[in-house]
Amino acid sequence: MAPARPGASSRIEDFLAMLATERGAAANTIAAYRRDLEGASQVIGDLVQADGSSLTRLGQAWSGLAATSLARKCSALRQFYGFCVDEGLRDDDPSGALPRPATRRPLPRLLSHEDVERLLLRAEEEAQGDAPDAVRLLAMLELLYGSGLRATELVALPFAAIPRDAPFLHVTGKGGQQRLVPVSTRAQAVLARWLVHRGALVSKDKPSRFAFPSRGASGHLSRVRLFQLLRELATRAGIDASRVSPHVLRHAFATHLLEGGADLRVLQTLLGHADIATTQIYTHVDSARLVALVNARHPLRDAHRRETPPSGTSQQARR
């Protein structure tokens, strides 16, 4: 194993700093890239000085990885070498020697309209007694499915982000990107109920800046606890708990909006996707409707009808 040359780690840090400042990469993304690049340097030494044969050897060392893991590691290295070329640290880009595993984005798990309705009805029934935990869960469920929030965005939602006179949430998503997310009328009503209970839980002695604070602490409800609460609710609603999670509800939000005729660009904005290619995964669920739309609305549909003779018309008559 070749030792990393002095300064190699600082180049990695420079690259990661660029990702954070210029591209707004999230902390989890930066941490994953750091692990991948440091792991590669342990195999082949100084990444800045590596040549094509070194990267070929690295690919062989990684050959036992799953395709998705291998693709992520190779992507990190390709971006690193692009950075090195841009910064004048080297004249060539050796990343062509890295493998290009064929990966396929998995289709999201889906909940039907009926499944979501059963979840909401169960949550509403349990919240009728106005128990704080039940009202909180109903409010969080409404925001997951009604606004398409990520689990992290929801649990870390600041109290100040909840609207007072406008039906929007100010959400900070991946990479610190901010967006406005609409809140339905029914979600606003449940949030108003929850804020009454929140006011009783939060005091000067137990301050919290979060909309959904954890009990007895200044922090917020954890993603793990949210996951557990949803699965427990699914079981009580008679739904297979393994099919339900915060992210599955986000998928349901996107899928059902698209089925209802939402524009893909609008959906991209609502979900906070930086790349529309991420949003396009949802188009598979509505392919039949899209085909019908093309057949019904495309300008050439009338031309086809004009060129098609009535049944029974002879070839001579058409001439």
| Catalytic residue list | 150, 174, 247, 250, 273, 282
Task: Say which residue the tokens 């997310």 belong to.
Answer: 181
Q: Which of 145, 157, 21, 155 is nearest to 83 (CA)?
A: 21
Q: Is residue 178 a contact partner of residue 171, using CB atoms and an 8 Å limit?
A: yes
Distance CA 266, CA 179 (A): 12
Distance CA 180, CA 176 (A): 13
Question: Largest Cα–Cα distance in the chain?
Answer: 94
What are the angstrom distances between the C-alpha of 127 and each of 131, 191, 250?
6, 12, 22
Structure tokens at 222: 């954890």
**C-alpha dihedral, 225 to 227 to 234 to 210, nearest 10°:** 60
